[in-house]
Amino acid sequence: MAVIEQTPPAVAQPSPVRPKKGLRKYWHLYAAISPFYLIFLGFGLFPVGFSLYLSFHRWDGLGSMEWAGLSQYQYLLSDSDFWNSIGNTIIIWALATFPMIFLAMVTAVMLNSAVRFKGLYRVAYFLPNVTSVVAIAIVFGSIFSTNAGMVNAVLNAVGIDQVAWLNTPWGIKVTIAALMTWQWTGYNAIIFLAGLQTIPSDLYEAARMDGAGPIQTFFRITLPLLRPTLLFVLVVSTVTGLQSFSEPQVLLQTSSNDSTFAGGPGHSGQTMVLYFFQQTFDNNDFGYGAAVAWGIFLVVVLFSIINWRLVQRRGD
């Protein structure tokens, strides 16, 4: 939390607060932020508390609960499948997020300066985010298939051996990352675009007067002023990317005999949330599932703090 308090001090004059009168003076501010916290108290606190309680028990979802003490967490620490899923998630996240942010920013800057066909581009870049995930999975499954796939056809054409994309540990990760990049680049480009719109045009005017080229302008004006947006994109990508599951699930779901949560050969595409589903719903191990969920939560918090620090510190 200390990290978050480092955010640049906001505007309004923080006149020295006198404790007693203080809180009453700020009542309207507290009232304005209260809905979120009230809703959390009403609907979020009980589920969170319940799952914490659950993680200290054994429960099959229907029968009676059995006290398990810390054993679920002890097992979690020694569970190589869970650690494997953390590794998979982070690798897939990194493979997807960095290309995605780069492409999204480039797309946003281009969209911001393109004058014609804006509407068309906008809708087109929005399409990946709304297309049914079933359709996407079928399409990607066929594009990345070993013998009949388009990707391998292209690789063959330039003289590279074909890759068994959905059958090798790295192939699986790259395919999932490609799907995620495809799905979220346009979305993030629109976020960046909204951020670009807040940058006053007179700043660009001034830069041009000073004789700055487009690249200089980007690094001196656009990027620094886009930092809050970049921070937002990075943190949201971290929180959602580390909790990804539908992409690997639909992509690697093959024969009906297989668990849909296994994540392909060698669990190479099994993300943390897929592992949670496997424990909870395949094995009916609700207690352990809750412990896994708290493990996921810790990883997400840790990663978000790291990202926050990286973006906040640089150049500040």
Q: How many residues does the chain have?
A: 316
Cα 297 versus chain centre, distance: 13
Distance CA 20, CA 31 (A): 18
Q: Closer to other proteins by CB, 50 or 219: give it.
A: 50
CA dist 232 to 37, 237, 242, Å?
Answer: 21, 8, 15
Q: Which is nearer to other proteins, 23 or 94 (CB)?
A: 23
Question: What would the two tokens of residue 216 be?
Answer: 């200089």
Burial class of residue 23 in the structure, from the number of CB atoms within 10 Å of its CB (0-12 exposed, 13-18 middle, 19+ buried): exposed
Tokens 């660009």 belong to 204
CB of residue 305 to other proteins, shortest distance in Å: 9
Distance from C-alpha of 125 to C-alpha of 114, rounded to nearest angstrom: 14
Tokens encoding 174:
């790259």
Cβ closest to other proteins, residue 11 vs residue 158: 11
Shortest spacing between CB 74 and other proteins, in angstroms = 9
The token duo for 53 is: 């309680």
Provide, rounded to whole angstroms, the least separation between the CB of residue 267 and other proteins: 7
CA-based nearest residue to 274, from 289, 286, 284, 285: 289
Q: How far is the CB of 177 from other proteins (least distance, A)?
A: 15
Shortest CB 93 distance to other proteins, Å? 14
> Nearer to other proteins by C-beta: 173 or 267?
267
Give 205 or 210: the residue with its C-beta nearer to other proteins: 205
Residue type, 34: S
Strand partners of residue 207? none
Q: Least distance from C-beta 159 to other proteins, angstroms?
A: 21
| Cβ-based nearer residue to other proteins, 216 or 254 | 254
